Amino acid sequence: MAFENQYVQQRIEKAEALRALGIDPYANHSERNTTVEKFHNVNSDLFKKEDQRDEHRHYTVAGRIKLYRLMGKASFVKIEDESGMLQIYVARDNLPENFYNDVFKKLIEVGDIIEVSGYPFVTQHGELSLHADSLKILTKAISPLPEKFHGIQDKEMRYRQRYLDLIMNSEVRKTFHIRSKVISLTRRFFEDKGFLEVETPMMHPIAGGANAKPFVTHHNALGIDRFLRIAPELYLKRLIVGGFEAVFEINRNFRNEGMDATHNPEFTSIEFYWAYKTYKDLITITKEYFEYLFDHLDLPKRLPYGELEVDFDQFSEIELIQSLSVIGGVPESIVNDKEAILAFLKSNNLEAKATMNLGQLQGELFDEFVEAKLINPTFITHYPVEISPLARRNDERPELTDRFELFIAGREIANAFSELNDPVDQLQRFEGQMAAKDSGDDEAHEMDEDFVTALSYGMAPTAGQGIGIDRLVMMLTNQHSIRDVLLFPAMKPTHNQTNHGEEE
């Protein structure tokens, strides 16, 4: 790290000049007594008064200088704090002797964080502003901000230096406020329903609960490898065995796979498990959850998503097999006929392996012909058992499972089902996965004998659900890349960053 850039050098010299004048360019406290938002709210009455100023009111605000307009013996600057932007009028004759010429004009600039005291007034152009009678630098910024009008356009810089993105782009701040609220509301919703928030291990001896490649780390004291968790599912079910009847966990999962607009190596989900309930109860609570989010987020029920509009008042529900013909336009006569589906896929120039079973082929039809058409929130229910290894079979139709996925704007948002709690069946399914692993499927589920042992003591009939928080926030904020809802998305190291990983 070096500060050899000419602009940085100039600013360092200004910080030194401030010190030479007895001014600390990095003050250790502030006298701020109001925020910009409160200032605007409290003083909005001035617009209605004849004399649009009140010298008897006095406020101290603080923030970063975003704009700076100097006009001889007076200036306008705009400062911004987290709550908003405020214009400050700074006139030479209202400040201490020489301060305006020697300090304000020469040593304070855009990017610096300042504190200003004064009274409120409305300018000739009708902008409520602060008339400064004292001004103090709180923090000298030695790197210049990006260009004031276009801001920061370079996505790479926005992600690598998110703080600059946040400084320059209030829409980005808004997105992350919504994300924070979503997580907070999610927690409160489930707590209010009587769920217990729990924390289960992030470092697993066996990476289970999903089919995905894990990150591996090493525990020196024990001399063993540990896996960053790919899902909390198996631990949360152990807690149901233990007698907790409603648990949830909001936390990160880690998957050692590709990165793109909808995948980050670490992502946030909520998983919740509810004893003595079925997937039908989960559909009900999911609808309530969305109602709750929209009520508390102050968002309209009809939200744009790119070219689309999603109506969160229009939840619907349809069985997967039915959706193939009703929504996907696949001939109803073929949806339960393996050979006919194969022929249909081929006639649509889609790849289909003859080794695929009926359930997999139905899943293929769904992915190709239905998924993208599910714009308003849609529960797709009764997935074939072949593509639902952890879900309970339907009592009447054992080829199907008591499962649903929720789709919004053509994307999967949640996956839920009545849980498999037959320990013998679970053991057999794990053994099936081991066979798949032996024949080359490196994402097949690991055997977890301890989990089977847990089930053997009896897990009450339970329904469980996972919701991808990142994707949910994408929907709610009309963002189309997961990087835009993650404060610090995963990025490759740049050349000048030392990578302590193993050499290729």
- Is 498 an interacting residue with respect to RNA (CB under 7 A)? no
Run of H or E including 225: strand 224-228
**168 vs 330, which CB is nearer to RNA?**
168
Q: Which of residues 147 and 332 has its CB atom nearest to RNA in the complex?
A: 147
Min dist. Cβ of residue 208 to RNA (A): 13
Please work out, in degrees rounded to the nearest 5, the angle formed at the alpha carbon of residue 308 by the alpha carbons of 304 and 312.
Answer: 60
Q: Which is nearer to RNA, 367 or 450 (CB)?
A: 367
Q: Which residues contact 97 (CB under 8 A, 6 or more apart)?
A: none
Pick one of 41, 98, 153, 348: the residue that binds RNA (CB under 7 A).
153
With respect to RNA, which residue has the nearer C-beta, 196 or 259? 259
Q: 445 near 438, Cβ under 8 Å?
A: no
Question: Which window, 127-135, 174-182, 423-431, 456-464, contacts RNA (CB under 7 A)?
Answer: 127-135
Paired tokens of 482: 């997961």
* Least distance CB 260 / RNA (angstroms): 5
Q: How far apart are CA 39 and CA 50, in angstroms?
A: 19
Residues 455-474 that bind RNA (CB under 7 A): 468, 470-471
Record the tokens describing residue 192, joined without a space: 């209010």
Torsion of CA 54, 57, 62, 66, to 10 degrees: 0
Q: Segment 380-419, which members bind RNA (CB under 7 A)?
A: 412, 415
Length of the chain equals: 504
In the bound complex, what is the minimum distance in angstroms from residue 351's beta carbon to RNA? Answer: 8
Work out which of 68, 272, 369, 407 binds RNA, going by CB under 7 A: 68
Q: Does 483 bind RNA (CB under 7 A)?
A: yes
Smallest gap from Cβ 18 to RNA, in A, equals 13
Q: Which stretch binds RNA (CB under 7 A): 195-203, 254-262, 285-293, 453-461?
A: 254-262
Nearer to RNA, 223 or 306 (CB): 306
110 binds RNA (CB under 7 A): yes
**Nearest distance from residue 222's CB to RNA, in Å?**
28
What is the separation of C-alpha 61 from the centre of its chain, rounded to a whole number of angstroms? 31
C-beta separation of 96 from 90 below 8 A: no
User: To the nearest whole angstrom, how small is the minimum distance from the Cβ of residue 29 to RNA?
Assistant: 26
**Contacting RNA within 351-380 (CB under 7 A):** none
Q: Which of 3, 16, 82, 157 is the binder for RNA (CB under 7 A)? A: 157
For RNA, give the closer residue by CB, 31 or 260. Answer: 260
Asked if residue 489 lies in contact with residue 483, where contact means CB atoms within 8 angstroms, the answer is yes
How open is the CA angle 283-287-288, to the nearest 5 degrees?
115
Taking CB under 7 A as the binding criterion, the range among 124-132, 274-282, 428-436, 450-458 that sits at the site for RNA is 124-132
At closest approach, how far in Å is the CB of 146 from RNA? 3
Q: Which stretch binds RNA (CB under 7 A): 122-130, 221-229, 277-285, 393-401?
A: 122-130
Q: What is the DSSP string of 418-448?
A: EBP--HHHHHHHHHHHHHHHHTT-TTSPPP-
Tell how many helices (H) and how many strands (E) occur in the chain: 14, 18
| Under rule CB under 7 A, residue 6 binds RNA | yes
What are the Cα distances from residue 363, in Å, to 213, 325, 335, 366, 383? 22, 13, 11, 5, 8
Answer yes or no whether residue 21 interacts with RNA by CB under 7 A: no
Residue 69 engages RNA in binding (rule: CB under 7 A): yes
Q: How far apart are CA 135 and CA 139, in angstroms?
A: 12
Determine, following the binding rule CB under 7 A, whether residue 451 of this chain makes contact with RNA: no
When the beta carbons of 136 and 255 are compared against RNA, the nearer one is 255
Distance CA 199, CA 251 (A): 8
Give the H/E segment covering residue 71: strand 59-71
* Beta strands 196-197; 246-254: pairing state: parallel
The residue among 142 and 318 lying less far from RNA, judged by its C-beta, is: 142
Q: Which of residues 84-103 bind RNA (CB under 7 A)?
A: 87, 89, 91-93
Among 16, 31, 55, 70, binds RNA (CB under 7 A): 70
Amino acid at residue number 367: D
Q: Which of 35, 43, 117, 129 binds RNA (CB under 7 A)?
A: 129
- Give dist(CA 385, CA 315) in Å, integer: 25
Which segment (41-49, 152-160, 376-384, 394-402) binds RNA by CB under 7 A? 152-160
The C-alpha angle 70, 75, 78, rounded to 5 degrees, equals: 100
Out of 262, 278, 322, 376, the residue judged to bind RNA by CB under 7 A? 262
For RNA (CB under 7 A), the number of binding residues is: 73
Which positions from 201 through 240 interact with RNA, judged by CB under 7 A? 210-212
Q: Verify binding: residue 326, RNA, rule CB under 7 A.
A: no
Is 481 one of the binding residues for RNA (CB under 7 A)? yes
Contact in structure between 111 and 141 (CB atoms under 8 Å)? yes
Q: How far is the CB of 489 from RNA (least distance, A)?
A: 7
Residue 419 near residue 460, CB atoms below 8 Å: no
- Distance from C-alpha of 446 to C-alpha of 432, rounded to nearest angstrom: 10
Nearest to RNA of 32, 252 (CB atom): 252
Residue 396 is encoded by which pair of tokens? 């009447």
